[in-house]
A and B are shown apart, each in its own frame.
Chain A
Amino acid sequence: MNRPHAFSKGHSAYPRGSAFSISPNSFQPRSQPALRRRRQLFQRLCLLAGVSFLLTILIFPSWRAAVIPTLSLGLIHSSGDLQLQTVRYYDLSEVQGSEKGWERGERVLMLTPLRDASSHLPMFFSHLRNLTYPHNLIDLAFLVSDSRDDTLRMLSSMLQEIQNDADPKMSFGEISVIQKDFGQKVQQDVESRHGFEAQASRRKLMAQARNWLLSATLRPTHSWVYWRDADVETAPFTIIEDLMRHDKDVIVPNVWRPLPDWLGGEQPYDLNSWQESETALALADTLDEDAVIVEGYAEYATWRPHLAYLRDPYGDPDMEMELDGIGGVSILAKARVFRAGVHFPAFSFEKHAETEGFGKMAKRMKFSVVGLPHYTIWHLYEPSVDDLRHMDEMEKERQAQEQIEREHELADKQKQSSNSESQNDAEKGSSEGPAAQPPKDAAKGNSKQDKS
């Protein structure tokens, strides 16, 4: 509708503007005749240059790498590995480890050896999530060895979950899951794990496993290394900071475990943290070069002061004690200790192996090795076979007792509301029956003291 109108308008406007402004100079001589004349020459020169360039590139293949990417504007990639960073530079003097590592952004490598540990994993991961040390500064590494349950699958899915957590502060740094079987023949149940004969070879295998885990995952960026077993039941969320504040080369907390009431309620667990004694040194001299002294067995009476027995529940948690051998449940060490070569001897080192040998070797290299007698973490209580049998007996007794009570109740409804609530408290389906427990049971204490 509007068009013709607009056209006519434009048309009418035309003569006014340009009809008389046509330049009279349109037939001027060409501006650059010389260039025109040499055009052919230019074309030939370009052609020649192009052909010679192609020829040189064909003849000298080594030039291509330099020439092609610049000419093709990145269209022809000789290969994609131009996108790889291959050189890394590290200054180890920047990763010495200090008492306030979290403020200086010091990286911690947290190491956990696992074997048939799927039942402990949910508990372990709840501890992980609760750690107050900045998670992005913690690198996690696990060694899954000789496992017959689905530890590996569970571990991967739980790690995946934590890394994809909606809270960006929840995810950790580098995560490595190492699989390596050492052909562990020794059974994992408490009984055989702590038998005396099996100890030396078991400790050597454990040492080997720890060394494999450490050597595969220690990086030049780490300032601290934190060893933590999966079967710790209770530990402060701030444990890394708490241990770090002491600024020692190697430091361990006290490790106890809770027990059912009929076994005394609690018990020292980790007997591998000790101070050297004259008796033990004398004993060591009498032993064969390859012998391994293990603590807590009557066969080796060492009379060493143990960290575990020095605990006072109301003592100062910051109190320190010099140690020579240490246990492996929870060790915080400066990474420089491991860089210097200190490791878990899988051979007899000064008559000791694994974590005790580690303590000895650290001492030998003049590092400080310290324990905190009044700062306690709690190891999971796994009932021994004897305990289980005993618990069974008690359970039967309790049920019999309840039966009697129920009969009483039926007979006399008004008298008692119920005392069967206590049934819910019993954690591992055990104990804590009514006060009717025979006193000899409580004194029996037949659960062996455990060594990690």
Chain B
Amino acid sequence: MAVARSMRRTSPISLLLAALLAFGFICFLLTPSSSSSSASASASSSRQRQQDAAEHPLSPPTKPFLKSQSYRSDGYQAAPPVVHYNLNNLTSTSDSIVNGERILILTPLARFYQEYWDNLEKLSYPHELISLGFIAPKTKAGNTAIAALEKAISKTQNGPIDNRFASISILRQDFEPPLTTQDEKVRHKLSSQKDRRESMSRARNSLVFTTLGPSTSWVLWLDADIVETPTTLIQDLTSYDQPVIVPNCFQRYYDKNSRKWDIRPYDFNSWIDSEQAQVLAKDMGPDEILLEGYQELPTYRTLMAYLADLKNLDPRRLLELDGVGGTALMVKADVHRDGAMFPAFPFFHLVETEGFAKMARRLGYGVFGLPDYLIYHYNE
């Protein structure tokens, strides 16, 4: 009863003041959330995100834009601003985080694997420096993949700020893929490879040349079926400061004989050229292509997949290559800006990522591989 009586005596004004005080106290307690260090990091990251945002929706896809738009005094929507980009100041160096270099991760999406997204989210490179780009065909499979992707995106982009990516572009491609099946056996048949890879080239080119924008320093090509990489993938690959660099793509499988999980090489498109292959190419018609991993075409190239020293992994071991695979491929944005693309036609009898390596080399860039730096492909 004593409490009630004292309450009755206090005036409503002092109650209001007390409520205000309590509210302020709670604010004080909560706003510098959790531990102070991560809080300040999060605040600075969101400030940086805010600063980097474009004013107008007509802006590079690598930038988020402000939802609210300004208007002219006469009521018309304000014209887009004149924006300057000084590309002389754009660097791509081994100290990518310190220099705040922006990464564009590009993925041609055929299927969506949750493991792929989880792996992407775990990358420890500051997410406010990462933009994502996806391209999917306008097929039923593409629709399913995009639906799943959008679900994962909305979860991440509405989650904790530090986990959110700077921006995400989703593209639907404007041409039909040559094959309707993603079945492993059909997909890898030699005759269908040329069409498949040419179509893949066009998808990759459409993706990179529309999303690159003026502020990207590095482009990481990451296939949708790469489900396991070190979380420091970006820092590691940029640390070599090479124009084009590719890790070794392996696959985990269950070995029925030894009854345990093991790993095996998966991507055979990263290679060092051989004389035999050169001779083969010389006798080919202008529209024929050389492919790796087919008995019909004995190229005797040195494949990086087999150069991994599994007993004694040395992730810093660097190797100069002539052809690269696209499962995970780190490229300085300058290489793409100079025009290196994925040929959708036989370019020196090479297409797609292998043709890309050839074109990069013709533009004067070195192409490198990391035989002992392993990433893992999904096992169907």
Q: Please state if B64 and A85 are interface contacts (CB–CB under 8 Å).
A: yes
User: How many interface residues does chain A have, given as a range?
Assistant: 35 or more
Q: Which residue of A lies closest to B59 (CB)?
A: A174
Q: Please state if B172 and A92 are interface contacts (CB–CB under 8 Å).
A: yes
Provide the bound-state CA to CA distance between A96 and B81, in Å. Answer: 27
Provide the bound-state CA to CA distance between A89 and B61, in Å. Answer: 10
In the complex, whether B178 has a CB less than 8 A from a CB of chain A is no
Q: Please state if A179 and B88 are interface contacts (CB–CB under 8 Å).
A: yes
Given contacts A84-B67, A90-B169, A180-B86, 11 further A-B contacts (CB under 8 A): A39-B4, A57-B30, A91-B138, A171-B80, A172-B80, A175-B82, A177-B84, A216-B87, A216-B213, A346-B339, A347-B362
Q: Please state if A87 and B57 are interface contacts (CB–CB under 8 Å).
A: no
Please indicate the chain A residues that have their CB under 8 angstroms from the CB of B65 in the complex. Answer: 84-85
Q: Which residue of A lies closest to B343 (CB)?
A: A341
Q: Which residue of B lies closest to A165 (CB)?
A: B79
In the complex, whether B202 has a CB less than 8 A from a CB of chain A is yes
Q: Please state if A365 and B345 are interface contacts (CB–CB under 8 Å).
A: yes
Q: How far is the CB of B216 from chain A (nearest CB, A)?
A: 9
Please judge, given known A-B contacts A76-B27, A76-B31, A179-B88, whether A88 and B80 are in contact too, CB under 8 Å: no
In the complex, whether B46 has a CB less than 8 A from a CB of chain A is yes
Provide the bound-state CA to CA distance between A330 and B298, in Å. Answer: 47
Please indicate the chain B residues that have their CB under 8 angstroms from the CB of A220 in the complex. Answer: 61, 169, 171, 210-211
User: How many interface residues does chain B have, given as a range?
Assistant: 35 or more
Provide the bound-state CA to CA distance between A365 and B175, in Å. Answer: 14
Please judge, given known A-B contacts A57-B30, A365-B345, whether A180 and B88 are in contact too, CB under 8 Å: yes
In the complex, whether B16 has a CB less than 8 A from a CB of chain A is no
Q: Please state if B26 and A178 are interface contacts (CB–CB under 8 Å).
A: no
Q: Which residue of B lies closest to A39 (CB)?
A: B4
In the complex, whether B257 has a CB less than 8 A from a CB of chain A is no
In the complex, whether B363 has a CB less than 8 A from a CB of chain A is yes
Q: Please state if A168 and B72 are interface contacts (CB–CB under 8 Å).
A: yes
Q: Please state if A84 and B49 are interface contacts (CB–CB under 8 Å).
A: yes
Q: Please state if B61 and A212 are interface contacts (CB–CB under 8 Å).
A: no
Q: Mark A181-220, 1 if CB is under 8 A from B, else 0.
A: 1000000000000000000000000011001101111111
Q: Please state if B79 and A163 are interface contacts (CB–CB under 8 Å).
A: yes
Partner of B84, one of A164, A179, A219, A343: A179
Residues 85-132 (chain A) with a chain B CB within 8 angstroms: 85-93, 95-96
Please indicate the chain A residues that have their CB under 8 angstroms from the CB of B169 in the complex. Answer: 87-90, 220
Q: Please state if B161 and A92 are interface contacts (CB–CB under 8 Å).
A: no
In the complex, whether A394 has a CB less than 8 A from a CB of chain B is no
Provide the bound-state CA to CA distance between A86 and B132, in Å. Answer: 10
Provide the bound-state CA to CA distance between A276 and B184, in Å. Answer: 43
Of A61, A68, A176, the most chain B CB neighbours within 10 A belong to: A176
In the complex, whether A279 has a CB less than 8 A from a CB of chain B is no
Provide the bound-state CA to CA distance between A173 and B3, in Å. Answer: 67
In the complex, whether B50 has a CB less than 8 A from a CB of chain A is yes
Provide the bound-state CA to CA distance between A136 and B210, in Å. Answer: 20
Please judge, given known A-B contacts A88-B61, A90-B169, A179-B85, whether A340 and B344 are in contact too, CB under 8 Å: yes
Q: Which residue of A lies closest to B146 (CB)?
A: A89
Q: How far is the CB of B284 from chain A (nearest CB, A)?
A: 16
Residues 71-87 (chain A) with a chain B CB within 8 angstroms: 72, 76, 78-81, 83-87
Please judge, given known A-B contacts A64-B30, A81-B50, A85-B65, whether A211 and B338 are in contact too, CB under 8 Å: yes
Q: How far is the CB of A360 from chain B (nearest CB, A)?
A: 11
Please judge, given known A-B contacts A76-B30, A174-B56, whether A163 and B80 are in contact too, CB under 8 Å: yes
Of B66, B164, B341, the most chain A CB neighbours within 10 A belong to: B341
Q: What are 9 pairs between A and B in contact, CB < 8 Å?
A: A61-B34, A81-B49, A85-B64, A172-B80, A179-B84, A208-B338, A208-B339, A219-B210, A343-B339
Q: How far is the CB of B351 from chain A (nearest CB, A)?
A: 11
Q: Please state if A215 and B336 are interface contacts (CB–CB under 8 Å).
A: yes
Provide the bound-state CA to CA distance between A208 and B363, in Å. Answer: 10
Q: Which residue of B lies closest to A161 (CB)?
A: B82
In the complex, whether B74 has a CB less than 8 A from a CB of chain A is yes
Residues 61-112 (chain B) with a chain A CB within 8 angstroms: 61, 64-68, 72, 74, 76, 79-88
Q: Please state if B83 and A176 are interface contacts (CB–CB under 8 Å).
A: yes
Please indicate the chain B residues that have their CB under 8 angstroms from the CB of A86 in the complex. Answer: 64, 157, 164-168
In the complex, whether A446 has a CB less than 8 A from a CB of chain B is no
Provide the bound-state CA to CA distance between A33 and B263, in Å. Answer: 77
Instruction: Identify the A interface with B (CB < 8 A).
Output: 39-40, 43, 54, 57-58, 61-62, 64-65, 68, 72, 76, 78-81, 83-93, 95-96, 139, 156, 159-160, 163-164, 168, 171-181, 207-208, 211-212, 214-222, 336, 338-341, 343-348, 364-365
In the complex, whether B193 has a CB less than 8 A from a CB of chain A is no
Please judge, given known A-B contacts A68-B30, A215-B212, A216-B337, whether A174 and B4 are in contact too, CB under 8 Å: no
Provide the bound-state CA to CA distance between A43 and B6, in Å. Answer: 13
Provide the bound-state CA to CA distance between A219 and B80, in Å. Answer: 15
Q: Please state if B161 and A168 are interface contacts (CB–CB under 8 Å).
A: no
Pairs A-B, 8 closest by C-beta atoms: A171-B79, A341-B205, A174-B58, A79-B46, A92-B174, A61-B34, A341-B341, A180-B87
Provide the bound-state CA to CA distance between A56 and B327, in Å. Answer: 44
Provide the bound-state CA to CA distance between A339 and B210, in Å. Answer: 7
Q: Please state if B82 and A173 are interface contacts (CB–CB under 8 Å).
A: no
Please judge, given known A-B contacts A78-B161, A85-B57, A343-B339, whether A181 and B80 are in contact too, CB under 8 Å: no
Q: Please state if B80 and A173 are interface contacts (CB–CB under 8 Å).
A: yes
Q: How far is the CB of B44 from chain A (nearest CB, A)?
A: 10
Q: Please state if B84 and A156 are interface contacts (CB–CB under 8 Å).
A: yes
Q: Please state if A340 and B206 are interface contacts (CB–CB under 8 Å).
A: yes
Partner of A178, one of B72, B74, B87, B363: B87
Q: Which residue of A lies closest to B57 (CB)?
A: A85
Please judge, given known A-B contacts A76-B27, A83-B67, A341-B202, whether A179 and B72 are in contact too, CB under 8 Å: no
Q: Please state if B87 and A175 are interface contacts (CB–CB under 8 Å).
A: no
Q: Please state if B87 and A156 are interface contacts (CB–CB under 8 Å).
A: no
Q: Please state if B30 and A336 are interface contacts (CB–CB under 8 Å).
A: no
Q: How far is the CB of B127 from chain A (nearest CB, A)?
A: 11
In the complex, whether B170 has a CB less than 8 A from a CB of chain A is yes
Please judge, given known A-B contacts A81-B50, A85-B64, A87-B157, whether A92 and B337 are in contact too, CB under 8 Å: no
Q: Please state if A177 and B174 are interface contacts (CB–CB under 8 Å).
A: no
Provide the bound-state CA to CA distance between A445 and B84, in Å. Answer: 43
Q: Please state if B76 and A168 are interface contacts (CB–CB under 8 Å).
A: yes
Q: Please state if A215 and B33 are interface contacts (CB–CB under 8 Å).
A: no
Provide the bound-state CA to CA distance between A222 and B61, in Å. Answer: 13
In the complex, whether B366 has a CB less than 8 A from a CB of chain A is no
Provide the bound-state CA to CA distance between A269 and B338, in Å. Answer: 27
Q: Please state if A218 and B209 are interface contacts (CB–CB under 8 Å).
A: yes
Q: How far is the CB of A227 from chain B (nearest CB, A)?
A: 15
Q: How far is the CB of A422 from chain B (nearest CB, A)?
A: 43
